[in-house]
Structure 1
């Protein structure tokens, strides 16, 4: 059965680049319907090229059954699969951290994130910015304790995310901070009191200052900590990677431009404590746009992968499925035994549409609000 895949993100990016190069326009200039028509034109040209190459290679295939993943029959099958999995409660909607590509303005999968390791501080180019940005660094700054002259110094690789901090964690047995348990810190730039919380899992009292900033809406470990301690979740990013209205004086800035403005403002308040190298830092980049991936709290559609992963492991254990060469069994189990739920929604114009609809009542603005009610979604 020969066929081609619509390759949602990759195809959309290629066609957008083509439009920019040939006509100096974006998909937003065209609008959704016109842009999708452009993609179909591109598909007819290059999809046929793929099939021609397969023929020239001498592939013995049934060309009367050639398929494309956006064909009407296959699109109907995708929608049917979504409906069935939703009814089985294997697909659900939830607000969780996603890998956010600010250039695409879309969530991307774990497989679409390429990690690089920085052993020394480096200046890297970031899409949308003319100036290069410092990475592989650790910046230190202090938070003032409420009604006190004391302060707590913390370290971060992302100074701009301090605008989303909602707590600072210390180890419950750390003698340096025992007298501060239950007290609050004052955020220097936004109207926010932040509790000093105790967390033996998050904090290593022998590492750094023994105090950890907690940004639940922009870090996987902090997300878990935020849930455990019932902290506020403050998203600081717009979809395009600029800072939103939660960031006070830094709102509308590109997040990496804001990095340096935050450092400058901390210096002005005598809260900045310096910087140092952070050897071994891992940085996630989008495989499609090369933008720095941001963990962002977003409501999305997810597949509950745990049950299916368990069945896949069992199939190999019971001998119903053989993996050859056998050396790869270890990878099979490592991947599936540590499976995470799969974010399947993408904020793209090209690809399958999720068969879900949000109820808007008379008198309400005809947009899905940021604080959407999950019980207003209907799948059909």
Structure 2
């Protein structure tokens, strides 16, 4: 008996297969089995692609820590707590926030305080002003994120650039502002 094997070679993006994939995704979407949503990703500025979580070394730093970073000749200092002031609306003075990620302040959309922190009770629901672009930053209460005994007890919120802030942004319906280009430079949303 002669067995004839037919081997078909095709391009995965040819018209027939592309239509089948589109049809499958449309059906899954209409059935509510898949959906589109914005999420944070681990972005590689050199490769210009998202990196899977298991490919990223996550490390909780305890205080100031020098780390080797590809492309830098000497270690880069991480975990440095920096405090700076945002002016408040209505001539109420200023609110000082503390952060280890100062470079994302261009994308801040709120400032969070603990609801039980007496230092900030008079500011609940008020606004600070971003010093570089004039954006209004609502002062919100968030007991999940804010530890009143750490730093100043006031936390800048950058939902588009930090996993914890992302959750706060969802809880409080904040604006998500991406301030980086694909190659890691500041874009027009970060200022001129």
TM range (shorter): 0.7 to 0.9
- Residue 122 of structure 1 is matched in structure 2 by 66
Q: 1:204 offset after TM fit, Å?
A: 2.0
Distance in 2 of aligned mates of 1:155 and 1:145: 16
Of 146, 151, 166, the match for 1:203: 146
Q: 1:222 offset after TM fit, Å?
A: 1.5
- Residue 216 of structure 1 is matched in structure 2 by 159
- Residue 186 of structure 1 is matched in structure 2 by 129
Q: 1:197 offset after TM fit, Å?
A: 1.0
Distance in 1 of aligned mates of 2:61 and 2:171: 32
Does the Cα contact within 8 Å between 1:167 and 1:214 map onto a contact in 2?
A: yes
Higher RCO (C-alpha under 8 Å, 6+ residues apart): 1
SS in 2 for 1:234: coil
> Structure 2: where are the runs of 5+ without partners?
none
Of 238, 245, 248, the match for 2:188: 245
Of 40, 45, 53, the match for 1:102: 45
Of 91, 100, 106, the match for 1:163: 106
Cα deviations by residue, 1:194-221 (Å, 9 ceiling, x for unpaired): 1111122222222222111111111122
Q: 1:170 offset after TM fit, Å?
A: 0.9
Q: TM-score, normalised by structure 2?
A: 0.78
Q: 1:227 offset after TM fit, Å?
A: 2.2
Q: CA distance change for structure 1 residues 80 and 188 in 2, over 3 Å: closer, same or farther?
A: closer
Q: Which has the higher helix share?
A: 1
Q: CA distance change for structure 1 residues 93 and 72 in 2, over 3 Å: closer, same or farther?
A: farther
2:35 maps to 1:92? yes
Distance in 1 of aligned mates of 2:111 and 2:61: 26
Root-mean-square deviation (CA), in Å? 2.9
Cα deviations by residue, 1:267-299 (Å, 9 ceiling, x for unpaired): xxxxxxxxxxxxxxxxxxxxxxxxxxxxxxxxx
Of 82, 89, 93, the match for 1:146: 89
Does the Cα contact within 8 Å between 2:112 and 2:141 map onto a contact in 1?
A: yes
Distance in 2 of aligned mates of 1:108 and 1:86: 25
Distance in 1 of aligned mates of 2:181 and 2:22: 33
- Residue 320 of structure 1 is matched in structure 2 by none
Distance in 1 of aligned mates of 2:34 and 2:52: 16
Distance in 2 of aligned mates of 1:81 and 1:227: 31
Cα deviations by residue, 1:221-256 (Å, 9 ceiling, x for unpaired): 21222122222211111111111011114xxxxxxx
Cα deviations by residue, 1:5-45 (Å, 9 ceiling, x for unpaired): xxxxxxxxxxxxxxxxxxxxxxxxxxxxxxxxxxxxxxxxx
> Structure 1: where are the runs of 5+ without partners?
1-63, 65-70, 250-380
Q: Which runs of 4+ in 1 moved over 6 A?
A: none
Q: TM-score, normalised by structure 1?
A: 0.42
Distance in 2 of aligned mates of 1:175 and 1:117: 29
Q: Counterparts of 1:196-345 in structure 2 under 5 Å?
A: 196-249=139-192
Q: CA distance change for structure 1 residues 82 and 101 in 2, over 3 Å: closer, same or farther?
A: farther
